[in-house]
Chain A
């Protein structure tokens, strides 16, 4: 695989990045994210900066076989394009694989694609399908499968299809389907994507959990029932809210054994312990599970104390206290006024929220939803904190006496962070209350809450969340933010594949978001999980992914 890559020409920007890395302008993680998203393999990318790729998978001391029990929510399966929880992706990741895999170190690795090339204007993507891959029913996996799946992602008529918003450059706005000629099957192992507008996030999007690759016989519904995939495991059973089981597909030769090693486990059980971390702890203490999906809040210390092993990953996962600028409350729209939003944001010291809400386990954020680990992050300084000025500003609006209501989910750290935000705003002399809702009520109307906290998962590129969440009229825009100027800046940013050049635009993007008071975004979270000490290669992934083929027990 590395041989084929070396004969191909490197994307010119990758060399630029390597120079920047050597000059100390980039850290290793940023370099890898950028270089690999341009089609450079991780090994080659490490080579560019004079390092050898660290051996990630400890293959030497993994025992073959065993049943791994994982604590995780067990959600109902649906069409992968409508996946809305990382857990659902994990439940099917053992048999439904992805074109691209996002790795713990921030780089992208080809899974069902062997390699890919991006044109310099980020409008033409050439995808090289991995040869020798078969479905577990014996059918060969070809370029036609890739093209069919991508065309499926472009179907914007499908209810809840979250991939269509990410494939904008391939979609014909009139039909809501893939544009003629956008997806071109060149030969059995090559697919070419011709985008109508530059999009640098295509590769990153192909690694996200709704982009699982399904067989042609699958037509919606429960993927466990269909069960045909390219992965090394096979679905056995799923009981929503209780348990899901997958087992090694012994009659199927998995392509990855030669390329990546593994799989090691015979059977994996996903066991649901609800949303209360105390139950997860009870499960860990009673030895009913081997690995936790995620450890949160105070439970991180408690799990350390009972002798479980912790793994950590620094991410761009975050909590955003966003104002909905369009929601009406008693006939008025409190957060339509920019000054109200900016004033409230000025009353909150983000460092305090990190300390009180998340025990300092992360980095202070700057109210613009671009993280220092993102490739094109521009440092525009910390968010302004001046409660007195904020109060004065608020008094100048029509909403000086308005009683604000901050709504958060009843979840350990989200609730605590919300409480710290409320307390600081109240300290500045503003009338505010904090309402904590259980999940069953919260998710009902959450996009329309006037002022509430939303969790966001980590995404590899700076532009990904911003384009999903803050452009006018986007599906995931629950802040009701509609600013043509911002949209124009984003369109600009999305066309610059070179992160160094994009940084100037990103600085403006960040400044616009902050000046418009779109959100109070206190911190970036580090994520943790725990295992009982015998599990190998199950480090917490920044996007909560389980790369099940790597998991195993220590020999």
Chain B
């Protein structure tokens, strides 16, 4: 078990390293740096101004060196700019051009310094913490709606395969899974939030939900994400339930005269939930995917929205931070799903 965990963590670090290097390389391509300079300085900067802007702020160094500085294995740059100001990676603009005695020379991820977001003008660590918290809130409610809903639909549909209940519930779940968030979200806003349709039950914008989530402003984003995942999990639960219901021991129980509700709840349910558990855990990475669309659509400023802003504005260090967090979320949920699977199904062993 320990060896298994160790191997998983090693994979996680290696993946994070590879992914961040790719992101780093792409965001440091010359046109992207030019865009960055123009965003930060002025959209009408000349080529010379762009060059000196990049030079003065350490962007003109070789790629591997910059990456090593971000990681924290190489000392941060100190560059005397052409405008006379000396800037350093770790200590910002220097008053009199020299580093203070006690100044740090290494400041990278390994030192716990996630860098500075050029778009938001704030530390990457604190931005990600705030935004992840907001997405956490969204995810929590999505899970609260999605998981029980999906399991109930799946179990109801799977316990009598081929019945009318099964057919209708399966149809519903296939429709919700087949409708991507960017379609269902727009349809929801049009139907439930716009004057055009006249219902106006909910708000088409979730901006105020960041501070104060209410039934009105949070329902649509939660339902948009939840419905998409719900159909999929329900389908998995149904399949697994249907399979369990045809097993020998269920027939035996029926022949012994156990009542149908008892069979479903006491005999079938636990075995039927093994497969959905894995699927639910694997939904987390998919949810990250969904929040990118939904947060942008409903203008809810969480992790997905941050990712869009960071990518759209070529905010190098923020994008790297977002990537690292995403890698960890994906791999940790997989790890939990593997370990949980072992506990639910004693026939499987990880080592």
| Residues A82 and B41 in contact, CB atoms below 8 Å apart | yes
Determine whether A445 belongs to the interface, using a CB cutoff of 8 Å to chain B: yes
- B52: chain A residues at CB < 8 Å are 159
- B208: chain A residues at CB < 8 Å are 286, 288
- Over the window 141-157 of chain A, the binary record of Cβ atoms lying under 8 Å from chain B Cβ atoms (1 yes, 0 no) is 00000000000000001
| Residues B42 and A285 in contact, CB atoms below 8 Å apart | no
Given A157-B83, A445-B31, are A282 and B189 also a contact pair (CB < 8 Å)? Answer: yes
Given A84-B44, A160-B49, A241-B301, are A283 and B205 also a contact pair (CB < 8 Å)? Answer: yes
- B42: chain A residues at CB < 8 Å are 82, 84, 159-160, 162
Those of A435-492 within 8 Å (CB) of chain B: 438-440, 443-447, 475-476, 478
Determine whether B160 belongs to the interface, using a CB cutoff of 8 Å to chain A: no
Q: How many residues of B contact A (CB 8 A)?
A: 39
Those of A280-327 within 8 Å (CB) of chain B: 281-283, 285-286, 288, 305-306
Those of B194-241 within 8 Å (CB) of chain A: 194-195, 200, 203-205, 207-208, 216-217
- A440: chain B residues at CB < 8 Å are 35, 312-314
Complex: A311 Cα to B49 Cα, angstroms: 40
- Over the window 65-94 of chain A, the binary record of Cβ atoms lying under 8 Å from chain B Cβ atoms (1 yes, 0 no) is 000000000001100001010000000000
| Residues A159 and B31 in contact, CB atoms below 8 Å apart | no
Complex: A469 Cα to B141 Cα, angstroms: 53
Residue in B38, B299, B313 whose beta carbon sits within 8 Å of that of A279 in the complex: B299
- A283: chain B residues at CB < 8 Å are 205, 207, 299
Complex: A275 Cα to B97 Cα, angstroms: 41
Given A84-B43, A240-B120, A271-B207, are A159 and B34 also a contact pair (CB < 8 Å)? Answer: no
Determine whether A158 belongs to the interface, using a CB cutoff of 8 Å to chain B: yes
| Residues B35 and A285 in contact, CB atoms below 8 Å apart | no
| Residues B193 and A282 in contact, CB atoms below 8 Å apart | yes
Given A273-B205, A444-B38, A445-B31, are A286 and B46 also a contact pair (CB < 8 Å)? Answer: no
| Residues B53 and A159 in contact, CB atoms below 8 Å apart | yes
Determine whether A261 belongs to the interface, using a CB cutoff of 8 Å to chain B: no
Complex: A534 Cα to B226 Cα, angstroms: 38
Determine whether B45 belongs to the interface, using a CB cutoff of 8 Å to chain A: yes
Of A241, A274, A279, A282, chain B has the most CB atoms within 10 Å of the CB of A282
Residue in B41, B193, B296 whose beta carbon sits within 8 Å of that of A286 in the complex: B193
Residue in A157, A160, A274, A478 whose beta carbon sits within 8 Å of that of B299 in the complex: A274
- A447: chain B residues at CB < 8 Å are 44
Of B39, B44, B208, chain A has the most CB atoms within 10 Å of the CB of B44
- A333: chain B residues at CB < 8 Å are none
Residue in B34, B205, B301 whose beta carbon sits within 8 Å of that of A242 in the complex: B301
- B38: chain A residues at CB < 8 Å are 443-444
| Residues A159 and B41 in contact, CB atoms below 8 Å apart | yes
| Residues B204 and A162 in contact, CB atoms below 8 Å apart | no
| Residues B309 and A159 in contact, CB atoms below 8 Å apart | no
- Over the window 51-86 of chain B, the binary record of Cβ atoms lying under 8 Å from chain A Cβ atoms (1 yes, 0 no) is 011000000000000000000000000000001000
Determine whether A239 belongs to the interface, using a CB cutoff of 8 Å to chain B: yes
- Whole-angstrom distance between the Cβ of A545 and the nearest chain B Cβ: 20
- B298: chain A residues at CB < 8 Å are 282
- Over the window 21-43 of chain B, the binary record of Cβ atoms lying under 8 Å from chain A Cβ atoms (1 yes, 0 no) is 00000000001001100110111
In the complex, the chain A residue whose C-beta lies closest to that of B50 is A159
| Residues B120 and A76 in contact, CB atoms below 8 Å apart | yes
Determine whether A427 belongs to the interface, using a CB cutoff of 8 Å to chain B: no
In the complex, the chain A residue whose C-beta lies closest to that of B127 is A239
Determine whether B119 belongs to the interface, using a CB cutoff of 8 Å to chain A: yes
Of A159, A242, A288, A475, chain B has the most CB atoms within 10 Å of the CB of A159
In the complex, the chain B residue whose C-beta lies closest to that of A273 is B299
- B39: chain A residues at CB < 8 Å are 443
Complex: A159 Cα to B217 Cα, angstroms: 43
Of A286, A439, A478, chain B has the most CB atoms within 10 Å of the CB of A286
- A337: chain B residues at CB < 8 Å are none
In the complex, the chain B residue whose C-beta lies closest to that of A307 is B195
Determine whether B351 belongs to the interface, using a CB cutoff of 8 Å to chain A: no
Complex: A288 Cα to B204 Cα, angstroms: 10
Determine whether A222 belongs to the interface, using a CB cutoff of 8 Å to chain B: yes
- A222: chain B residues at CB < 8 Å are 121
| Residues B31 and A444 in contact, CB atoms below 8 Å apart | yes
Complex: A438 Cα to B120 Cα, angstroms: 20
- Whole-angstrom distance between the Cβ of B264 and the nearest chain A Cβ: 43
Complex: A33 Cα to B49 Cα, angstroms: 36
- Whole-angstrom distance between the Cβ of B27 and the nearest chain A Cβ: 13
Residue in B41, B203, B309 whose beta carbon sits within 8 Å of that of A241 in the complex: B309
Complex: A242 Cα to B126 Cα, angstroms: 15
In the complex, the chain A residue whose C-beta lies closest to that of B311 is A440
| Residues B301 and A444 in contact, CB atoms below 8 Å apart | no
- B41: chain A residues at CB < 8 Å are 82, 159-160
- Whole-angstrom distance between the Cβ of A457 and the nearest chain B Cβ: 13
| Residues B299 and A158 in contact, CB atoms below 8 Å apart | no
- Over the window 251-274 of chain A, the binary record of Cβ atoms lying under 8 Å from chain B Cβ atoms (1 yes, 0 no) is 000000000000000000001011
| Residues A443 and B43 in contact, CB atoms below 8 Å apart | yes
Complex: A264 Cα to B314 Cα, angstroms: 40
- A285: chain B residues at CB < 8 Å are 193-195, 200, 203-205
Complex: A158 Cα to B296 Cα, angstroms: 36
In the complex, the chain B residue whose C-beta lies closest to that of A283 is B205
| Residues B45 and A286 in contact, CB atoms below 8 Å apart | no
Complex: A239 Cα to B204 Cα, angstroms: 22
In the complex, the chain B residue whose C-beta lies closest to that of A81 is B42
| Residues B217 and A476 in contact, CB atoms below 8 Å apart | no
Given A158-B83, A241-B309, are A288 and B205 also a contact pair (CB < 8 Å)? Answer: yes
- Whole-angstrom distance between the Cβ of A522 and the nearest chain B Cβ: 23
- Whole-angstrom distance between the Cβ of A33 and the nearest chain B Cβ: 26
- Whole-angstrom distance between the Cβ of B45 and the nearest chain A Cβ: 6
In the complex, the chain B residue whose C-beta lies closest to that of A444 is B35
| Residues B45 and A288 in contact, CB atoms below 8 Å apart | no
Residue in A239, A240, A279, A438 whose beta carbon sits within 8 Å of that of B205 in the complex: A279
| Residues A241 and B119 in contact, CB atoms below 8 Å apart | yes
In the complex, the chain A residue whose C-beta lies closest to that of B56 is A159
Complex: A478 Cα to B43 Cα, angstroms: 12
| Residues A475 and B205 in contact, CB atoms below 8 Å apart | no
In the complex, the chain A residue whose C-beta lies closest to that of B34 is A444
Complex: A39 Cα to B193 Cα, angstroms: 52
In the complex, the chain B residue whose C-beta lies closest to that of A83 is B42
- B35: chain A residues at CB < 8 Å are 440, 443-444
- A439: chain B residues at CB < 8 Å are 312
Residue in A162, A241, A282 whose beta carbon sits within 8 Å of that of B120 in the complex: A241
In the complex, the chain B residue whose C-beta lies closest to that of A439 is B312
Complex: A445 Cα to B38 Cα, angstroms: 9
Those of B89-144 within 8 Å (CB) of chain A: 119-122
Complex: A288 Cα to B195 Cα, angstroms: 15
- Whole-angstrom distance between the Cβ of B316 and the nearest chain A Cβ: 14
Complex: A271 Cα to B207 Cα, angstroms: 9
| Residues B195 and A282 in contact, CB atoms below 8 Å apart | no
Complex: A160 Cα to B49 Cα, angstroms: 8
Complex: A285 Cα to B201 Cα, angstroms: 11
Given A160-B45, A162-B42, are A288 and B119 also a contact pair (CB < 8 Å)? Answer: no
- Whole-angstrom distance between the Cβ of A210 and the nearest chain B Cβ: 10
Residues of B within 8 A of A (CB): 31, 34-35, 38-39, 41-46, 49, 52-53, 83, 119-122, 189, 193-195, 200, 203-205, 207-208, 216-217, 296, 298-299, 301, 309, 312-314
A241-B120, A285-B193 are known; give 8 further A-B pairs, CB within 8 A. Answer: A240-B119, A241-B119, A283-B205, A283-B207, A288-B203, A288-B207, A288-B208, A444-B31
**9 interchain pairs (CB within 8 A)?**
A82-B41, A84-B43, A162-B44, A222-B121, A241-B120, A273-B207, A288-B203, A288-B208, A305-B195
A-B pairs, 7 with minimum CB distance? A160-B42, A286-B203, A282-B204, A440-B312, A282-B205, A444-B35, A160-B41
